Amino acid sequence: MMNNKQKQVYCTFQDAPQHTFPGHPESPHRLHLMREWLTAPPYPEMVWLEFQPASEADALLVHSQAMLESIKAACRMGPHEFEPSPTYMTESSYQAALGAVGATLAISRRILAEGQGRGFAIVRPPGHHAEPDRPMGFCLLNNIAIAAADAVASGAGKVAIIDFDAHHGNGTQEAFWHTPQVGYLSTHEMNIYPGSGRIESAPHARGRIINIPLPPFSDTHAFIDIFHEVAAPWLRNFGAEMLLVSAGFDPHFSDPLTTLTLDTTGFFQIAQMLTNLAEEFCHGRILFVLEGGYDPLALRDNIQACLAALCGRPSFPDHFGRSPGGRSEVESIIEKLKNLHHLKED
Ligand SMILES: [Zn+2]
């Protein structure tokens, strides 16, 4: 086992203050508590990287030219909302989206150039609902999908994506529906937005695309069991050169948009587990990319918990405390997933 301590953890930050809409939960306010980290990071291992907005060529690794043109045209219309979730555009939204992609690529490319490393792109707008041909679900460009496609295009080999946001990352799944080099595993609350990610979906990609819908009130124990029994053997089998993590913190029990009951200690445990799995199976290369999470105080603590794990810390200050209660029975889901995806024990 490698020494997890004294690792540098590359971080980028973009709160995109101009990409905002009155009363919308996906707002710059989500990240305002993290601004003080720019001058006083919670852990000395954190290294802030400078970054440029991504190029249009980068966005085209996943998205169609027609979609990019439609976003630019929508921005020219000024602030407005669309589709039921709802998503919004402002004059500066396209630049904000390119910035979030650029902040993600700055870390993934650094890790690949150095052959090792860990990171966390603390960015908005989020990305995992954005499909190749349309923005949706508060997401304009798919930050993590573009980083994965960029890694594959650079000859990095296989890339694994784990998505623990409370919502299914339909856009990421769609981007790699027919891409054998990219694996996708998502845990999400069943029967909520966007409605995709059923356990039997993607029959053509068994063992590569794994969807894990969880009942409401699934708690930290449920997540830990799933990650131990499904994510770990999946990563062992898949043989990825790098692990990307769609880190959405809306499964937290305080989140206003979902009814999962993960707590901050749970996020720490999951991040610790994923960091160790990346050491074992992905050359230690791991990059967290922020997705959802709409309680600013919980979001700050949950991101800090993951940073503590990435920095190899044994613990972190949990101000929020344990979940007030939930349900942890996921044995039948785990059995079904093992059979469906031929996941072998150690
Ligand atoms: Zn979400």
pLDDT of residue 191: 95
pTM above 0.85, yes or no: yes
pLDDT band at 2 (very low <50, low <70, confident <90, very high): very low
Q: Residue 191 C-alpha to ligand 1 middle, in angstroms?
A: 13
Tell me the C-alpha distance between 207 and 7, whole Å: 31
Of 304, 259, 310, nearest to 118 (Cα)? Answer: 310
Q: For residues 257 and 177, which has the higher predicted lDDT (pLDDT)?
A: 177
- CB count, 10 Å around CB of 204? 8
Q: Six-digit token pair at 322?
A: 């344990």
Catalytically annotated residues: 129
pLDDT score recorded for residue 313: 94
Stronger pLDDT, 191 or 325, i.e. the higher one: 191
Tell me how far apart the alpha carbons of residues 317 and 312 are, in angstroms, rounded to a whole number: 14
In this predicted structure, the answer to whether residue 3 has a pLDDT above a threshold of 60 is no
The rounded Å distance from CA 115 to ligand 1 centre is 31
- Average pLDDT of 156-180? 98
Ligand 1 midpoint to CA 276 (Å): 25
Structure tokens at 331: 């044995």
Q: Whole-angstrom Cα distance, residue 255 to residue 166?
A: 10
Span 212-222, mean pLDDT?
96
Q: How much is the mean pLDDT over the chain?
A: 95
* CB-count burial class (<10 Å; 0-12, 13-18, 19+) for 237: middle
pLDDT above 60: residue 264: yes
Report the percentage of the chain scoring pLDDT > 70.
Answer: 98
| Distance of alpha carbon 170 from alpha carbon 21, whole angstroms | 24
Q: Could you report the per-residue pLDDT of 106-142, keeping only the tens digit for each?
A: 999 999 999 999 999 999 999 999 999 999 999 999 9
> What domains appear along the chain, each with residue ranges and CATH number?
9-341 (3.40.800.20)
Residue 1 has pLDDT above 70, yes or no: no
Task: Find the 221 Cα to ligand 1 centroid distance in Å.
Answer: 20
